[in-house]
Structure 1
Amino acid sequence: MSVVATSSAPGREMLLDISQREANRRTVALLLPLAAAILALGAWARHWSAGPLVFGGGLAVLLLGAGFWLYKVRQPRLLSLVQRLDRLHAELEDSTGLLLRDEHQTSFNLLEQLQQQRIGARLAALQAETPYLLPFSWRPTVLVTAVLLLLLAAGMWWHRPAAAEAQASLPVHFPAAEKPARPGQAVAAKLLDTRLLVQPPTYTRRASFAPTNLSFSCPTGSRVRWTVRVNRATGTAPVLELGSKRISFRSIANRPTEFVAEVPVTVSTLYRLRFAGQVSDDYALDVVPDQAPSLKIQTPKPYTLIEFGQSSTVPVRIDVRDDYGLSEAQLVATVAQGQGEAVKFKEVVTNLSGQLRGQPRQATLATSLRLPALGLTYGDEVYFYVRARDNARHLTRSDTYLVQWEDTTVQDGLTDMSMSVNVVPAYFRSQRQIIIDTEKLMAERPSLPTATFAERANNLGFDQKMLRLRYGKFLGEESESGSAPQPPASADTSHEEHAGEKGTEAGHSADDGHDHAAESPAGGEAANSTTALMEPYMHRHDDAETADFLEPAVKAKLRSVLNQMWEAELRLRLAKPAEARPYEYRALRLLKQVQQQTRAYVRKSGFEPPVLPEATARLSGDLAGAATPRLQQQTTRPATQPEIREALRLLAALRAGQAPRPADAVVLERAGQAVAQAALQHPGAYLTAVRALRQLSANARASRAACVTCFTPAESALTALLPMPPATPIRTSSGSRLSQRYFQNLNSR
């Protein structure tokens, strides 16, 4: 019995057919949500000012992604297909891979040939029972398509109100409309209604809208479209009078009775429509300007001093607001390093735009100034400000803030406190160095013997004492008994008594450089009187309150410095550096405040008379030209806005019952021009008054009765245009009723 070997081509074709059917199902599962996504994107893009650009970009991204995915799906992957078929169908006996082998490339044995024929027959039978051998779930496709269809419906539903508003017709009022045509007479051409559509600028991110009134407001830079409809086709088109401009409408194709005009607006103005010899009422077009962003720095304060021991990081918090949206924010810091002519400046810009995602209208920006990272060291300064831009590229800058890092090593601050008196002490250890040595001693305490630790602490106490005594000289202290100033000597205590005391450190010796002349008993009374007279002008060395040239505020701080140094010295002498350190820090802080105080001298200025010729004017008694010349002129104040005042008088007479005359129309028209000029700046406030004055003028020209309802808006607008009158003095009553009756009775007598 012989076995005939068959080719595996029919088996491969069956596998390719199964792969093709699987790819078709995946293609349909992709195209359904893709079509729904394109429709939803188109529905929502109509609401955006940049809708075409957004729709084109989104469509390109969707098509490119779908094309790449379809390319991968349509590629046959027979090896993966065979593995899935063996895993899902047990009757294939994990032998479906034999259908992929070609007998021309590989020699089959008898068992493989039989198994290949057997699997091919079973696979054909399975495919005859069901066309799809691999499972597939349509649930994700259905869910995604349903969500996209809901978005499509929402986009269409959201668009309907805007479309309805755009198609709303607004009637235009013509005050001089003609009477209805008689039977048999041709109907006169007239403008029936108009439709408005406003498209705000792109940076506002506002959708197009249709105003519900012919007087409306819109953002600056908007494009306004007027669509008017007339009763019959004519050879002339309506004209739009927008302020001082005249714009002709253009006809719409296939619509002979409709015309359209589109104009960008940037300023508030009045407009009206003119057609077939008729002029409509004036309507207000109020343009809302785009405001620049507003900045408010919450922290830090305008001046910040980083004292010794404080953190070198300064938090910065800014509130930013805008009417349409913020796009950019930066913090610009200028670092100043060095002193005198060797100052160097460096500018560092920190971008804060990352915190403005989505272009919000209001945001709180937070950052920090790390002084070491900016290159600052002790004594340097940094000036910074914040600038922000909105979507229209309007720029706003905040005030400049200063952050100064205190330099505790500068010791020349006391050289200018004594008003040109050379009181600079000799060299001594600084308070900052004592603090550094104290902290070093505390860090080395575990490794030091008790005696060594006590000796070093005592030496620091001695250094603190020398520093205290040196600074005590500025308060007139000449003793080492304490840091507090000695009480002043009593007025009845003679100088010789202090000099003669033994064992008192505040006493004077015979060779201290002062004149201590002995006084005779006979001249005691004269000496006492002389001492009393010279007391206000004497410089006493034994009185700390008058032995210096410092101001009281500076002396008070210096006393606090000496008290803190005394407390620190006491604890250092007792070998307690940990307890002495707070007093050392307080002494350093107070000392730096005293050193950094400055004084300003402002020269007194006033009237300087001219130099008189001494040779000719001396002892002459001629005072001509000596006094300050005064030129006076009495002039009458010209009447302001006479046309408005005349119109107000005329309106008052008409309200009282005076019959209107044609000459009154000229007065009202002059006042109407002034009101119209004000209405160009504020259309909403003066538009009603312009219409009222125009109606009163028309009635006066025709000698008709005046419009009663037109008096109030016209008088209010004219009164508002007049300048405020100067305040007149008013006599006010002072005191109680009893005091008023007293003065009345006093005057009656």
Structure 2
Amino acid sequence: MSAETLFAHWIAPARRRRFADTLALALPLVLALAVLGWRWGGLIAALLVATVSLAVALAVARQRMARFDRPWLIRSLDTTRPELEDSSALLFADEAPASPLQSLQRSRIAARLDQGAPQDLAPAWSSRLLLLSSLLAVALIAAAMLWPRAGEGPPTLAPSSEGMPAKPGVPRLVAQNLRIIPPAYTGLPVRDSGSLDARVPQGSRLEWTLRFDPQASAPKLLMLGNQPIALRPDGANWIASRAADAAFLYRVDPAAGRGPTPPLHRVDAIADASPQVKALTDSLTMVKPGQRSWSPAFTATDDYGVAASARLRVTLAIGEGENVTFSEREIPVSGSGPARDRRFTPRLDFSTFGFAAGGDMVVQLIVRDNRAPNPQEVRGPSLILRWLSPKAPESSGLTGMVNTTLPAYFRSQRQIIIDIEKLLKEKRGLAPDRYLARSASIGGDQQILRGRYSQFLGGENEDAPDLPTADGEAHSDGDGHDHGGPPVSTPNVFGEKEDVLAEFGHPHDESPASSLDPETRVVLKQAVDEMWQSERELKTGHPDTALPYAYKALRFIKEVQQATRIFLSRVGPELPPIDATRRMTGKREGLASRQLEITPIEQQDGPAAAAWRALGDGPDAIRGPINLAPLDGWVRTNATRLPDALALSGAIDAVRQDPGCTACRAKLRALLWGAMERPSGHLARRRPADAAGARYLDRIGAAQ
């Protein structure tokens, strides 16, 4: 047996004993620390504390075990085994004996070594330390279980802040505590508040602990507009509880109306907000060559947490033209990250969904929050993955057939909007000249796109938008119209309308310009006008001002896109027939009045307006007590639309308690003014005509 093998054989029992002894000493303390973490931080804190404590214990055990090395073994054998004659070092030496005498001595003690066992060298168990460690762990666990956490056990009362004067024999509030127990799904801890006003999650449980001096007989919590809540005795204190399903006002009445009126307290119930889903991927993505999967990215946030699992709605549109087939399916997806900010990045294989060239894949994430028992469900924005067809679009020049050239241009305005928004996000990190250059570059793209759309309007919108009347000044060179070049040299045929118009007229019926029906032409003209406004702001270095115009242009373009077919218009208008028998007769039978009836607007603020006038200084003012019952009913009816119904109810109660309080009346009147509906706007007077308008009116007068 080699020296290394012999050493490992004799040292192993001692090391195992010391490793086990160290863990035995540490485990009770690890358990106690885990209980402490669970008591004050919950299950996650307990697992974290236990993991860290156990890792430290293992490191200490390995360090203590490493102390049993070769010198310790030699020293222990020489001390406990006299028959080895202090020569055990020869047995565990790595080198061979240097002399025959050492070899002889090594052979002699090797035979004597087997008379003992390696277990004889193992250290004894630390019995006393084990007992002390166990007792300490038991004490820590008992203290952690018996020590009250925040919101557990009897609360600590805070001095009352109502400031009520003391009267002999009349109880008054002297100490108070409001315990707030949020719903379990929020994950919020129970907390105690020394104030009787609070903002709590909707659905929380409220527990009041109050103390009066002198002792009260039948105190109550007077709920404004609801039934009072009776307090029940608990030793020297009085307690009550209620669920905060909605906001409310209340006051503590210890003496059943015998003393001064206590102040109002307010509890606001904060509703659980709906999850917010945001797309981290561009709204439109093109399939790249060789791409076989897609991983759209979403982030979902919520005030109390988003469910770990969600659903992804996948819609496929395969085909072109009228041969488009749609399919829809939902797949489960899992999120990563903390509960309040989860990230969803599903991987979608094209082969699994049957996605091929010439189709669109639209995905939408559907998430839920952790609210119980009715979780809120929200659908996120839609993301589009487009796989362009390898075939080139076919076009036809036949009159009356579908024009397939126009829709090809309806795909670039969104990219301009994306470029503008990206530039605005990067504004802080760009130098002013760089920022202006990029804005002008986007403006150049907007100009090119505007020129493309103007082709379908005969080039009439190459410059600033026309006047609403579309007359303006007479045609001239440089007015933005395409008047064409000089007359062609080919001989004209007498009487042909095309040749006469080409030589002397202003043609506006080129093939692209005449391919729109009148309604589509009007909408497209509005889009081009908005593009011109966007281009102007971009080239002057104001992309933030250009963004609204770009969005308006996109909206008009989308309206044009709704018409999947755009036909060439070659027919005149169809006017209704004229009844010639009624001409010059003066008969008016069957003619209806064109005057529109004026329908009065029904105002729902009658009680509020009456109370506002009564609280003022006008002829309808009331100096004494005011009947506020109709106003109370009006507030309850319109509570959902009022900016702060509770504040208004509190002001009404203050005026009712003290009708002569000038400050209370002024506050209620101010709140009523902000709560009443605003009157609808009246017709504005027409602005005076400018130079172009005056010239237009002058020409109309001259024509008459």
Instruction: Sort the TM-score into its range (normalised by shorter chain).
Output: 0.5 to 0.7
Q: CA deviation at 1:264?
A: 2.0
- Mapped to 1, the partners of 2:326 and 2:603 lie a distance apart of 62
Q: CA deviation at 1:626?
A: 3.0
The one-character-per-residue Cα deviations of 1:470-508 (angstroms, maximum 9, x if unpaired) are xxxxxxxxxxxxxxxxx99964434xxxxxxxxxxxxxx
The one-character-per-residue Cα deviations of 1:61-112 (angstroms, maximum 9, x if unpaired) are 99xx9xxx9xxx9xxxxxxxxxx989953444899xxxxxxxxxxxxxxx9x
Q: CA deviation at 1:287?
A: 0.9
**In the alignment, residue 324 of structure 1 is paired with which amino acid?**
Y
- Mapped to 1, the partners of 2:220 and 2:381 lie a distance apart of 53
Counterpart residue number, 1:722: 676
Equivalent residue runs for 1:357-396 within 5 Å: 358-359=338-339, 361-367=340-346, 369-392=348-371, 393-396=375-378
The answer to whether the Cα contact below 8 Å between 1:33 and 1:145 also exists between their aligned partners in 2 is no
**In the alignment, residue 331 of structure 1 is paired with which amino acid?**
L
The answer to whether the Cα contact below 8 Å between 1:300 and 1:315 also exists between their aligned partners in 2 is no
Q: CA deviation at 1:388?
A: 1.8
**In the alignment, residue 39 of structure 2 is paired with which amino acid?**
A
- Mapped to 2, the partners of 1:680 and 1:226 lie a distance apart of 28
The structure 1 residue matched to 2:616, chosen from 652, 669, 693, is: 652
- Mapped to 1, the partners of 2:603 and 2:191 lie a distance apart of 47
Is the deviation greater in 398-407 or in 691-700?
691-700
Counterpart residue number, 2:490: 493
The structure 2 residue matched to 1:213, chosen from 186, 195, 198, is: 195
Normalised to the residue count of structure 1, the TM-score between the two structures is 0.51
The answer to whether the Cα contact below 8 Å between 1:382 and 1:404 also exists between their aligned partners in 2 is yes
Q: CA deviation at 1:616?
A: 9.6
Label 1:371 to 1:537 Cα distance change in 2 as closer, same or farther (>3 A). Answer: farther
The answer to whether the Cα contact below 8 Å between 2:222 and 2:250 also exists between their aligned partners in 1 is yes
**In the alignment, residue 382 of structure 1 is paired with which amino acid?**
M
- Mapped to 1, the partners of 2:16 and 2:687 lie a distance apart of 106
Q: CA deviation at 1:209?
A: 2.0
**In the alignment, residue 272 of structure 2 is paired with which amino acid?**
D
Counterpart residue number, 2:68: none
Q: CA deviation at 1:285?
A: 1.4
The answer to whether the Cα contact below 8 Å between 1:678 and 1:686 also exists between their aligned partners in 2 is no
The answer to whether the Cα contact below 8 Å between 1:169 and 1:193 also exists between their aligned partners in 2 is yes
- Mapped to 2, the partners of 1:630 and 1:210 lie a distance apart of 67
Q: Give yes or no for the alignment of 1:272 onto 2:237.
A: no
Equivalent residue runs for 1:522-561 within 5 Å: 528-531=493-496, 533=497, 535=499
Q: Give yes or no for the alignment of 1:248 onto 2:230.
A: yes
The structure 1 residue matched to 2:296, chosen from 302, 316, 320, is: 316
Counterpart residue number, 2:697: none
The answer to whether the Cα contact below 8 Å between 1:165 and 1:212 also exists between their aligned partners in 2 is no
The answer to whether the Cα contact below 8 Å between 2:362 and 2:382 also exists between their aligned partners in 1 is yes
Label 1:337 to 1:678 Cα distance change in 2 as closer, same or farther (>3 A). Answer: closer
- Mapped to 2, the partners of 1:363 and 1:151 lie a distance apart of 36
The answer to whether the Cα contact below 8 Å between 1:40 and 1:149 also exists between their aligned partners in 2 is no
The structure 2 residue matched to 1:282, chosen from 259, 264, 268, is: 264
Equivalent residue runs for 1:152-301 within 5 Å: 166-169=155-158, 171=160, 173=162, 180-181=167-168, 187-231=169-213, 236=218, 238-239=220-221, 241=223, 243-252=225-234, 255=235, 257-278=236-257, 280-301=262-283
- Mapped to 2, the partners of 1:697 and 1:234 lie a distance apart of 26
The answer to whether the Cα contact below 8 Å between 2:311 and 2:331 also exists between their aligned partners in 1 is yes
Label 1:672 to 1:165 Cα distance change in 2 as closer, same or farther (>3 A). Answer: farther
Q: Give yes or no for the alignment of 1:40 onto 2:36.
A: yes
Label 1:654 to 1:200 Cα distance change in 2 as closer, same or farther (>3 A). Answer: farther
Q: CA deviation at 1:116?
A: 11
Counterpart residue number, 2:597: 632
- Mapped to 2, the partners of 1:349 and 1:267 lie a distance apart of 37
Stretches of structure 2 that go unaligned for 5 or more consecutive residues are 1-13, 62-71, 85-107, 405-483, 517-562, 690-704
Q: CA deviation at 1:324?
A: 1.9
- Mapped to 2, the partners of 1:133 and 1:86 lie a distance apart of 15
Q: CA deviation at 1:364?
A: 4.7
Q: CA deviation at 1:225?
A: 1.0
Q: CA deviation at 1:270?
A: 1.9
Normalised to the residue count of structure 2, the TM-score between the two structures is 0.54
The structure 2 residue matched to 1:325, chosen from 277, 292, 305, is: 305
Label 1:346 to 1:548 Cα distance change in 2 as closer, same or farther (>3 A). Answer: same
Counterpart residue number, 2:434: none
Q: CA deviation at 1:295?
A: 1.5
- Mapped to 2, the partners of 1:334 and 1:696 lie a distance apart of 60
- Mapped to 2, the partners of 1:35 and 1:115 lie a distance apart of 46
- Mapped to 1, the partners of 2:399 and 2:128 lie a distance apart of 95
Counterpart residue number, 2:25: 29
The answer to whether the Cα contact below 8 Å between 1:297 and 1:317 also exists between their aligned partners in 2 is yes
Counterpart residue number, 1:622: 587
The answer to whether the Cα contact below 8 Å between 2:248 and 2:268 also exists between their aligned partners in 1 is yes
- Mapped to 2, the partners of 1:136 and 1:21 lie a distance apart of 10
Q: CA deviation at 1:217?
A: 0.8
The answer to whether the Cα contact below 8 Å between 1:30 and 1:141 also exists between their aligned partners in 2 is no
The answer to whether the Cα contact below 8 Å between 1:338 and 1:344 also exists between their aligned partners in 2 is no
The answer to whether the Cα contact below 8 Å between 2:32 and 2:140 also exists between their aligned partners in 1 is no
The answer to whether the Cα contact below 8 Å between 1:242 and 1:269 also exists between their aligned partners in 2 is yes
The one-character-per-residue Cα deviations of 1:161-204 (angstroms, maximum 9, x if unpaired) are x78995242537498x8x823xxxxx344544431011112222
**In the alignment, residue 599 of structure 1 is paired with which amino acid?**
R
Label 1:371 to 1:220 Cα distance change in 2 as closer, same or farther (>3 A). Answer: same
The structure 1 residue matched to 2:398, chosen from 388, 411, 418, is: 418
The answer to whether the Cα contact below 8 Å between 2:219 and 2:256 also exists between their aligned partners in 1 is no
- Mapped to 2, the partners of 1:601 and 1:222 lie a distance apart of 63
Counterpart residue number, 1:432: none
**In the alignment, residue 395 of structure 2 is paired with which amino acid?**
L
Q: CA deviation at 1:376?
A: 1.7
Is the deviation greater in 314-323 or in 138-147?
138-147
Compare CA radii of gyration and give the structure with the larger one.
1
Aligned CA RMSD, in angstroms, stands at: 6.2
Label 1:312 to 1:233 Cα distance change in 2 as closer, same or farther (>3 A). Answer: same
Q: CA deviation at 1:640?
A: 5.7
1:264 counterpart SS class: strand
Counterpart residue number, 2:383: 401
Equivalent residue runs for 1:414-453 within 5 Å: 414-415=395-396, 418-420=398-400
Label 1:674 to 1:245 Cα distance change in 2 as closer, same or farther (>3 A). Answer: same
Counterpart residue number, 2:77: 89
1:493 counterpart SS class: coil
1:715 counterpart SS class: helix
The answer to whether the Cα contact below 8 Å between 2:366 and 2:378 also exists between their aligned partners in 1 is yes
- Mapped to 1, the partners of 2:577 and 2:175 lie a distance apart of 82
Label 1:286 to 1:332 Cα distance change in 2 as closer, same or farther (>3 A). Answer: same
The structure 2 residue matched to 1:667, chosen from 620, 623, 627, is: 627
Q: CA deviation at 1:138?
A: 12
The structure 2 residue matched to 1:707, chosen from 656, 661, 678, is: 661
Q: Give yes or no for the alignment of 1:599 onto 2:565.
A: yes
The answer to whether the Cα contact below 8 Å between 1:39 and 1:152 also exists between their aligned partners in 2 is no
The answer to whether the Cα contact below 8 Å between 2:17 and 2:123 also exists between their aligned partners in 1 is no
The one-character-per-residue Cα deviations of 1:198-244 (angstroms, maximum 9, x if unpaired) are 11122222212233432211111211111122335566453453752
- Mapped to 2, the partners of 1:219 and 1:297 lie a distance apart of 28
- Mapped to 1, the partners of 2:510 and 2:596 lie a distance apart of 53
